[in-house]
Structure 1
Amino acid sequence: MSTLAEFMILSGADNRPPMLEKHLYDSWKRKMELYMQNREHGRMILESVEHGPLIWPIIEENGVTRTKKYEELSVTEKIQADCDLKATNIILQ
C-alpha cells in the first residue's frame, strides 16, 4: 500500500522535494533524482548535484584577471549557472 507522500510524488505533486528520512536514504535519493529531473533543465540540475557547480570562466582585462559577470556569460553558461542555483535551493529546501 502506498503512503500519502508516495501517492503525491506518483501523481505529479511537485510543490516541494521529498523529506530525508535516515532509514530510507536510498528511496529518498531516487525520489530526489526524479524530482530534479522533472524540473525545467532537470538533467542539468541533477548533473550539477552529481559533479559540482559551474566553474565560472575567467577573462583578462587590461592585465587584470577576473571571473566573468553573469551578464557576460554565454546563453549555455547562464542556463548552467541558473541550474546550479536551482540545485542548491532544492537541496536546502
Structure 2
Amino acid sequence: MGSNEETNAAGTDTRPPMLVESDYDSWKIRIHRYIRGKPNGKLIWKSIQNGPTPHPMITDPPATNSTIVPAPREKLDSEFSEEENKLEMADTQAEIILSQGLPRHIFNNLYNIFGYIRYI
C-alpha cells in the first residue's frame, strides 16, 4: 500500500488529486484528466482557465407607451436557459474540485487575488 502522500496525489473517482507543491506538472496533468472525466468536464476546465462565466443579463421590454428602455439587469435563476444553468454549474464544480485538490493556503491566496480561481 502506498504512503498517504501517494494516495493524496493519486486522487480517486470521488476526490480530485491533491497538489503536492513540488510536483505541479504531474498534478496539472492528473487534475485535467480528472476534470475531463466529469460530466461537462470541458466546461469545468474552461471555467478554470478563464474564470467564471459572467452572470447572464436581460433587458426587460419597455412599459407600454414608453420610449424609455429599461437598463439591463441580472437574470433570476428561474430565467436561466439550460445552457446558462450548465455554465453556472460548471463554474461551481470548478471551485469545488480545486478547493479539494489544492492545499488550503494556495486556494485561499489565489481566491483572494483573483476573486475566483484562474491560474492553471
TM-score, normalised by the number of residues in structure 2: 0.64
Q: CA offsets, 1:63-85, max 9 Å, x none?
A: 35320112211111111111110
Gaps of 5+ in 2: 63-69, 101-120
SS of the residue corresponding to residue 92 of structure 1 reads: helix
- 1:1-93 matches, cutoff 5 A: 5=7, 13-61=12-60, 63-93=70-100
**How many residues get paired?**
88
Query: If each structure's strand is expressed as a fraction of its own residues, which one has the higher value?
Result: 1
TM-score, normalised by the number of residues in structure 1: 0.81
Off by >4 Å, runs of 4+ in structure 1? none
| Structure with the greater alpha carbon radius of gyration | 2
Q: CA offsets, 1:40-69, max 9 Å, x none?
A: 111111111011111112223463532011
SS of the residue corresponding to residue 55 of structure 1 reads: coil
